[in-house]
């Protein structure tokens, strides 16, 4: 046997055991042995190590049959916390979750600047507050993952953020100068697709998530793995041209998809048509309920352009599951059916189109889940979080 083989096998077994404890939420040693096909002796040794590290805890399960109550193992969800950050234009969302992916607290900070150094200072200040909040736990903050609405390289350098006009920013490196915490930078749409699989679509191996808020981002899980492309630039479908010689985009092209099918473009167009600024979702819901002609016509146009882009993506990727992340679509009756009816090509194949239940929480939830996955060093993670457990964000303006 080559040197290191025993340690490697032990690491694989540990990873498998942790994955199954998370998946089952509470499980006995005997059942762990059956599910993992590992011997009871191996399970006992690994469980003893994990108990000593305080990563898992024991409890007795109530039962009414005669005999000894089984000792159950579960993740010590308060042993550490993951911090997910959604860094968007005009706002930064922070969510802290326990080790079972359940949100503990969230904050939404509205920012009046796009300057890198000023936003870096805001991030450092907020992270220090969360670090202090978690200082009582065994591991503190186990990892920080930041979702970026732009291009992130495989080296986790921010290549370009169109709306912030950032180019080649090493946010990961700048934050690691301040904190002794594992920090990761990821495209926000990738985190959204990861969240959909982790929290809802556990069995879907070919899933795409389309985030439609300040722009359009596409996160792709192909055969269970994030598809990032040669340098990590894959998924920038918001800058797919759907109207030749159309509206000018910050990326330098004309007629990009996100200028016609993102929520920010819809809000801008409707505000101009109604001559009313700062429209809210609640106001748009009232206009739709009242069957306001201008609003409904613009919604139909929004769905038309959305469907054009979807048709291209479906023909390119042949996904099993398509998740549309849009609060706006939730407001419009039968939006899903209208979209499906617009996809008339006989060669377009997919299994289902859904509107995300995670909504604007998808990025931060995916970020927390990825931080936990990296900390525990497990290949797969599956969490169950109810709609009531999703974070509600307290707003701050800086």
Asked whether residue 361 is domain-assigned, the answer is no
- Tell me, what's the pLDDT at 1? 40
- Tell me, what's the pLDDT at 274? 93
Show the domain range for 33. 5-75
123 with 218, same domain: the answer is: no
94 with 162, same domain: the answer is: yes
Domain stops at, among 14, 44, 75: 75
Tell me what the mean pLDDT of segment 36-48 comes to.
Answer: 94
111 with 141, same domain: the answer is: yes
* pLDDT classification of 387: cutoffs 50, 70, 90: confident
- Tell me, what's the pLDDT at 394? 53
* pLDDT classification of 3: cutoffs 50, 70, 90: low
The pTM of the full predicted model, rounded to 2 decimals, is: 0.89
> What is the Cα–Cα distance from 51 to 53, expressed in whole angstroms?
5
- Tell me, what's the pLDDT at 153? 92
114 with 157, same domain: the answer is: yes
Which CATH number characterizes residue 348's domain?
3.30.420.40
Average pLDDT of the chain, as a whole number: 91
240 with 301, same domain: the answer is: yes
85 with 70, same domain: the answer is: no
Tell me what the mean pLDDT of segment 214-223 comes to.
Answer: 90
Asked whether residue 362 is domain-assigned, the answer is no
Asked whether residue 213 is domain-assigned, the answer is yes
pLDDT(290) > 70: yes
219 with 188, same domain: the answer is: no
- Tell me, what's the pLDDT at 390? 80
Q: What is the pLDDT of residues 296-347, one digit of tens each?
A: 999 999 999 999 999 999 998 889 999 999 999 999 988 888 999 888 877 7
Which CATH number characterizes residue 34's domain?
1.10.10.10
pLDDT(70) > 90: no
Asked whether residue 136 is domain-assigned, the answer is yes
Asked whether residue 208 is domain-assigned, the answer is yes
| Structural domain count, the chain | 3
322 with 258, same domain: the answer is: yes
pLDDT(52) > 60: yes
- Tell me, what's the pLDDT at 82? 98
Q: Which two tokens mark 163?
A: 């709306």
Q: What is the pLDDT of residues 251-265, one digit of tens each?
A: 889 999 999 999 999
187 with 212, same domain: the answer is: no
273 with 332, same domain: the answer is: yes
182 with 122, same domain: the answer is: yes
Q: Which two tokens mark 104?
A: 């503990």
pLDDT(393) > 70: no
Q: What is the pLDDT of residues 87-114, one digit of tens each?
A: 998 999 999 999 999 999 999 999 999 9
Tell me what the mean pLDDT of segment 208-233 comes to.
Answer: 88
Q: What is the pLDDT of residues 222-233, one digit of tens each?
A: 988 888 888 777
Tell me what the mean pLDDT of segment 139-164 comes to.
Answer: 93
- Tell me, what's the pLDDT at 278? 87
166 with 220, same domain: the answer is: no
pLDDT(64) > 60: no
pLDDT(373) > 90: yes
């Amino acid at each position: 046997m080559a040197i290191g083989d025993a340690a490697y096998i032990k690491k694989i077994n540990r990873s498998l055991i942790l994955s199954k404890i998370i998946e089952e939420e509470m499980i006995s040693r005997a059942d762990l042995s059956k599910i993992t096909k590992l011997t009871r002796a191996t399970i006992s040794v690994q469980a003893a190590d994990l108990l000593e590290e305080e990563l898992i805890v024991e409890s007795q399960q109530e039962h009414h049959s005669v005999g000894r109550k089984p000792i159950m193992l579960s993740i010590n969800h308060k042993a550490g916390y993951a911090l997910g950050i959604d860094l968007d234009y005009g706002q930064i969302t922070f969510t802290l979750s326990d080790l079972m992916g359940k949100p503990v607290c969230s904050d939404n900070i509205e920012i009046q600047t796009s300057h890198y150094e000023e936003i870096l200072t805001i991030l450092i200040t907020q992270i220090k507050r969360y670090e202090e909040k978690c200082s009582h736990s065994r591991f503190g903050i186990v990892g920080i993952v930041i979702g970026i609405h732009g291009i992130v390289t495989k080296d986790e350098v921010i290549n370009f953020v169109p709306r912030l006009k950032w180019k080649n920013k090493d946010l990961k490196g700048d934050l690691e100068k301040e904190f002794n915490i594992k920090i990761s930078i990821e495209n926000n749409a990738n985190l959204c697709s990861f969240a959909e699989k982790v929290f809802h679509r556990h069995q879907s191996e070919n899933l795409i998530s389309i985030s439609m808020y300040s722009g359009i981002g596409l996160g792709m899980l192909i055969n269970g793995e994030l598809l990032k492309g040669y340098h990590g630039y894959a998924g920038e479908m918001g800058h797919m041209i759907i109207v030749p010689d159309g509206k000018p985009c910050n990326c330098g092209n004309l007629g990009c998809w996100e200028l016609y099918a993102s929520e920010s473009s819809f809000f801008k167009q409707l505000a101009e048509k109604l001559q009313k600024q700062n429209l809210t979702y609640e106001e748009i819901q009232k206009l739709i309920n009242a069957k306001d002609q201008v609003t409904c016509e613009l919604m139909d146009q929004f769905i038309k352009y959305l469907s054009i882009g979807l048709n291209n993506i479906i023909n390119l990727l042949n996904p099993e599951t398509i998740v549309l992340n849009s609060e706006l679509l939730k407001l419009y009756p039968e939006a899903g059916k209208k979209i499906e009816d617009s996809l008339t090509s006989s060669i377009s194949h997919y299994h289902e189109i859904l509107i995300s239940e995670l909504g604007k929480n998808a990025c931060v939830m995916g970020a927390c889940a990825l931080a936990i996955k990296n900390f525990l060093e497990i290949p797969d993670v599956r969490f169950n979080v109810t709609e009531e457990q999703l974070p509600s964000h307290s707003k701050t303006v800086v």
